[in-house]
Structure 1
Amino acid sequence: MYLTQAVHRAASTTPDAVATICAGRRRSWSDLRERVARFAGALRGLGVKKGDRVAVLALNSDRYFELYYSVAWMGGVVLPMNTRWSVAEHVYSIEDAGATILVLDDAFLETGLAVKEACESIAHVVHAGDGATPDGLLDYEDLIAQTAPAEDVRCGENDLAGIFYTGGTTGFPKGVMLSHKNLWTGALCVGAGIGFDPSVRYLHAAPMFHLADIGLGLAVSIFGGSHVFMPGFEPTSFLRLIEEHRVTYTLLVPTMIRMLLDCGDLGKRDISSWQGLLYGASPMAESLLKEALSRLPHVGFTQGYGQTELAPLATLLGPQWHVLEGPQAGKLRSAGRPGLCVEVDIVDAEGRSLARGQVGEVSVSGPNVMLGYWNKPEQTASTLVDGWVRTGDGGYLDDDGFLYIVDRVKDMIVSGGENVYSAEVENALMRHPDVSECAVIGVPDAKWGERVHAIVVPRTGRDMSADDLMAHCKSLIAGYKCPRSVDIRTDALPKSGAGKILKADLRKPFWASEIRNVS
């Protein structure tokens, strides 16, 4: 199993079929294979060797897509950077991974150059935007034009293909190591589960640094479909691209679906080609899902549940279960059944399997399971146990094998499809000189699914405001991780006999009326 196999197959069987459509550019699979081979050769000419890391900080584009395959073609490891991170978070991840090449586009020139200035490991910066290439940077298109195609080294199976950084329980991002086999089987699982064929035309609307989009995009390539790109989600442009390019499938997180339903252009565009939608990254509120089903009746909805450590899929709930009446109704609150090649078990604190209907920690096994966390053996050992990923989510399986998520075991918040570890936010808050103690929890939010909520106790005699605390956090961590609401209290936070803050007690009033204890 090697990622570039999909490019070879499509270029061999359907060389003139459309591979990518982006910003007025339309390229065939034979064009794509040539460009991938040439940029792979350029990377090799810049000194990149097998196993070296190549970082990319950019919005969605055909060049971003080509980069994934070029890095795999020459045996490197791709390092997609979260576009919402702060400079400090980028610097940490690049230095942690030891990336030697940074590829960026016009939107991140300033940020990228600041990162380059702070990272000694970066030897070259490649500009892959449409604007003029600044002095001192290498031009992506020039490198392709001036370099001969390289031979595909055909790395595969357990060779490392990418490092994907997620929020960290200790306050620092951790790099999930995914092999060619992990990504290939994850993509095959979702593609087969949805029922892709060569006619699929997929719109990359979710960010391409995110495993949800990567996994679905790789699946489209495996089945020989076509890719359409938009830099970032905006509902009016989204609808226009579906109409213009006859898009058949896409991926949206619940926040994007809410924005789409609120868009005045929804009923004004011909989106009859749109056949299917995968949603995930955070479970959708039932009221939002019912509204979406009603207003997009011709679109088949599929929910995907998983995490980066699973490349990224564990379960799927297909369109046949997205109904409100009839014999297949009643499963909307579930996360679906295990995908192909995937096993799901519910275990207790000692790792013992629980009976159907009993709540425990969701544990997942299969060829999609990560190799581990980069340079973090202790966290790897606690998460990857005997080949099973302990997800940190609490749930149960019903008698039909459907998975229901009811709570979160680990201290993580999922807001707008992004993972936020409370320890990281708490570390930032505690760097404020007036904060005595704090706790960060996830609370229900109609737009974001969950929002980051901080409960803060000031030092004696100190005054503070919610705005001050939020501004302080934004200077240290990415905006999406910062508290969206703050509760300032004068009384000490509730604690256990051992002095641990009782977050369950803090969460309880917010979730008392909710069906799930996570959203």
Structure 2
Amino acid sequence: MMTGESAALPTRPARSPALVVLTSGTSGLPKGAPRSQAPSLMVPAGLLSKIPLRGGERVLLSAPVFHGWGLIVATLTLTMGSTLVLHRRFDAGRVLTDLQRQRCSTLVAVPTMLRRLVALGDAISAADLSALRIVASGGARLDGALVAQVTAALGPVLHNLYGSTEASYISIATPEDLAEAPDCAGIPPRGTVVRIADANGTSAAVGVEGRILVHTPGQIDAYTDGTRKSDPDGFLDTGDRGHLDAAGRLYVAGRSDAMIVSGGENVFPEELEMALLAHPEVADAAVTPVPDAEFGHRLRAYLVRADSPAGRDALDEQAVRRYLAAELPRSRMPREIVFVDRLSRGSTGKLTRHTLDVLQEEHK
């Protein structure tokens, strides 16, 4: 077939090639986020300045390649002449085996995968992971408790990337950042600007929470349906709320559209989720607001017990409430706690809107 082909170069297309990456669809139907061929090297350079990937190594990529986080790592890995190790489905035991057998220097995953990996416990302690120098998490929020667990199990190798399909990556926390501030999302790399906007749209002071607006080298201007994403000033509203500290580190509080007002208090379901996931006998957790005639909204928590004697036998509603009372203010307490066998998550580890709708219908 190749011998019959012409050696002439193909005709240059009339327009630059484009890549369309679909959003995760956790809040509805996925949208297409198009990107033309990038003339700038700021996107790969910024990521490599925080996550020191090298050529000639082996990278175990567990994050899905069809989403932005996995795609950018796959592209960089192959461009640098390294080898990608891929599995069709995530299995923590197989990941641990291949990290050893393939002598992988890097593991790229989402938080749910890391949670399942550290749950292997003694198997990690017995494994030879001397080649592993980078564990990179992205695609969903990484809580401080999981940061501590991963660091204890694998050493100071964890990196936390915060980004979105529309913006590409926004900030990256290095192991040094996470040692000082385990809940942070890191510092924006060169070329990326993060601004925290208050209710009036002006820049908020250090430590003051507001909308997270970003300007990145890899952001889109509009979706494929023509809906604009970036504002006229070039900044993109991530849909998240958070704040910056004095060192320039970003902290993400939660989704703007997920914040509820309960009894006059602004409450983020993610804050309660992070506290629940830090409980050693909780395997998974999801928190969702439900209408309440008295308070406007109330929080309902869905919990999956850990597969351990303590989880199966001792974790009940009262035990959870005693634990939360020591961790969070009363306004963050769930009015209802529901135990379920499992929580179905998407490929990026996020709960889909469909999953939450089904749970709401089953537990009215």
TM-score by length of 2: 0.68
Picking from 195, 198, 204, the partner of 2:55 is 198
Q: Classify the secondary structure of the residue corresponding to 1:208.
A: coil
* Contact 1:203–1:249 (CA under 8 A) maintained in structure 2: yes
Does 2:254 correspond to 1:407?
yes
Q: Which amino acid aligns with 2:73?
A: L
- Matched residue, 1:486: 360
Q: Which amino acid aligns with 1:354?
A: A
Deviation of 1:339 (Å): 1.6
Q: Which amino acid aligns with 1:220?
A: T
- Matched residue, 1:261: 118
Deviation of 1:246 (Å): 1.1
1:208-252 deviations in Å (ceiling 9; x for gaps): 112111112222234332212111211111112111211101212
Q: Distance in 1 between matches of 2:48 and 2:104?
A: 16
Does 2:161 correspond to 1:300?
no
- Matched residue, 1:320: 176
Deviation of 1:200 (Å): 3.2
Distance 1:449 1:304, change over 3 A: farther
Picking from 324, 329, 337, the partner of 2:187 is 337
Q: How does 1:462-473 map to 2 (within 5 A)?
A: none
Q: Classify the secondary structure of the residue corresponding to 1:281.
A: coil
Deviation of 1:349 (Å): 3.8
Picking from 217, 238, 246, the partner of 2:103 is 246
Does 2:179 correspond to 1:179?
no
Deviation of 1:449 (Å): 7.1
Q: Distance in 2 between matches of 1:316 and 1:287?
A: 18
Does 2:93 correspond to 1:236?
yes
Q: Classify the secondary structure of the residue corresponding to 2:184.
A: coil
* Contact 2:103–2:132 (CA under 8 A) maintained in structure 1: yes
* Contact 2:21–2:68 (CA under 8 A) maintained in structure 1: no
Q: Distance in 2 between matches of 1:247 and 1:177?
A: 32
1:128-171 deviations in Å (ceiling 9; x for gaps): xxxxxxxxxxxxxxxx99988995778899642223233276x4
Q: How does 1:98-497 map to 2 (within 5 A)?
A: 151=9, 159-167=17-25, 171-181=28-38, 185-263=42-120, 265-297=123-155, 300-311=157-168, 313-323=169-179, 329=180, 331-377=181-227, 380-381=228-229, 383-411=230-258, 444=273, 446=277, 451=286, 453=288, 455=290, 480-481=352-353, 482-483=355-356, 485-486=359-360
Distance 1:149 1:218, change over 3 A: farther
* Contact 1:369–1:388 (CA under 8 A) maintained in structure 2: no
* Contact 2:240–2:254 (CA under 8 A) maintained in structure 1: yes
Q: Classify the secondary structure of the residue corresponding to 2:205.
A: coil
Unaligned runs of 5+ in 2: 260-268, 293-301, 303-339, 345-349
Q: Which amino acid aligns with 1:262?
A: A
* Contact 2:43–2:218 (CA under 8 A) maintained in structure 1: yes
Q: Distance in 2 between matches of 1:306 and 1:208?
A: 15
1:168-210 deviations in Å (ceiling 9; x for gaps): 76x4322111233299643332123212221332112111112
Q: Classify the secondary structure of the residue corresponding to 1:219.
A: helix
1:449-500 deviations in Å (ceiling 9; x for gaps): 762647489xxxxxxxx9xxx9xxx9xxx9844127438898xxxxxxxxxx
Q: Distance in 2 between matches of 1:238 and 1:252?
A: 10
Q: Distance in 2 between matches of 1:165 and 1:393?
A: 15
TM-score by length of 1: 0.49
Q: Distance in 2 between matches of 1:359 and 1:289?
A: 23
Q: Distance in 1 between matches of 2:291 and 2:196?
A: 35
Q: Distance in 2 between matches of 1:307 and 1:290?
A: 24
Q: Classify the secondary structure of the residue corresponding to 2:360.
A: strand
Q: Which amino acid aligns with 2:233?
A: D
* Contact 1:250–1:278 (CA under 8 A) maintained in structure 2: yes
Q: Which has the larger radius of gyration?
A: 1
Q: Classify the secondary structure of the residue corresponding to 1:374.
A: coil
Q: Distance in 2 between matches of 1:236 and 1:153?
A: 48
Q: Classify the secondary structure of the residue corresponding to 1:373.
A: coil
Give the fraction of aligned pairs with identical amino acids, expressed as a percent: 22
Q: Classify the secondary structure of the residue corresponding to 1:410.
A: helix
Q: Classify the secondary structure of the residue corresponding to 1:316.
A: strand
Q: Which amino acid aligns with 1:217?
A: A
- Matched residue, 2:324: none
1:402-439 deviations in Å (ceiling 9; x for gaps): 11112321349xxxxxxxxxxxxxxxxxxxxxxxxxxx
* Contact 2:184–2:252 (CA under 8 A) maintained in structure 1: yes
Q: Which amino acid aligns with 2:142?
A: M
* Contact 1:253–1:279 (CA under 8 A) maintained in structure 2: yes
Q: Distance in 2 between matches of 1:232 and 1:489?
A: 30
* Contact 2:20–2:32 (CA under 8 A) maintained in structure 1: no
Q: Which amino acid aligns with 2:240?
A: D
